[in-house]
Chain A
């Protein structure tokens, strides 16, 4: 298996622009997670899905952030409009209850908002 795939790997944008991050989980995994990591706050859970349904979005910082999972093999995290404080590494992870709930992380998207 290719593992969790994220795109783009790096994104540089200007304040006010829309940013869309993409994730393809490991095939067969029924959970998908979006995290944000910064030096100051560490790794924060933003939202997670079970069988494509959002379960907990309490970590989403504000209405500028939205996430969707239209099918089992694809999810997006959108920021609109982006702000400099959104600069961080965004990780997607997936897991399966059949495999001890171990979360497998993608390589991350490094976002810089100027």
Chain B
């Protein structure tokens, strides 16, 4: 089983739609969780950290479920500019992080 698993997609959604991605992780001792965004042929950039209590940043909401070992990202009112690959990141001790292979989102006009 991979350490971090994501549905590669692509998710093709119309503008204004709500879309959700899930990511599962295998190491129950994982400590930190993040969502990164990567545009085509660009470097990954931090979208948001994921806290146990869940957190929201504008149209983006991230949730963590430790019992089931998954994290989620919800995007409301999708914009064309949201089209990108979303990478789930799980970190253990000593800064070691594992990236998922990413979920591709395409928002359609």
CB of B69 closer than 8 Å to a CB of A: no
Closest to A107 in B: B43
A105 pairs with B99, CB closer than 8 A: no
Within 8 A of A (CB), among B56-109: 87, 91, 94-102
Closest to B2 in A: A42
Number of interface residues of A (CB under 8 A): 23
* Cα–Cα, bound, A103→B44 (Å): 9
Chain B binding surface SS class: strand
How many A-B contacts if CB must be within 8 Å? Answer: 47
* Interface range for B: 10 to 19
A105 pairs with B44, CB closer than 8 A: yes
Min CB distance B41 to A, Å, is 8
Chain A binding surface SS class: strand
Decide: A45 near B97, CB < 8 A? Known: A100-B49, A101-B32, A101-B91.
Answer: yes
- Interface pairs A-B: 10 shortest CB-CB: A42-B101, A105-B43, A43-B99, A102-B46, A31-B95, A105-B44, A107-B43, A108-B43, A56-B96, A91-B43
